[in-house]
Amino acid sequence: MGLELDIGMIRGLGTLVVVLAFIGLSLWVFNAKRNPEFAEACLLPFADEPSPDIATPSDAQEEPVTRSIRP
């Protein structure tokens, strides 16, 4: 009367682990304490672009930089 691990039991345990990980990740992502952290992170793709309020009049007179697509 020992514990027999057949393929159904292993798949069931794997499903349980995935469901628990999904619930834990969902609780972590939708936690209200994380909103400021995620709000800052969503602006990271634009971090290297100059801010429009910092631009000087001399910046407006410069030619736009064009990049070649050739190697």
How distant is the alpha carbon of residue 45 from its chain centre? 11
Question: pLDDT tens digits, residue range 20-46?
Answer: 999 999 999 888 888 888 888 888 888
| pLDDT at residue 25, rounded to an integer | 95
> Structure pTM?
0.51
DSSP class per residue in 2-39: -----HHHHHHHHHHHHHHHHHHHHHHHT-GGGHHHHH
Domain ranges of the chain: 20-48
Asked if 58 and 49 count as a contact pair (C-beta separation under 8 A), the reply is no
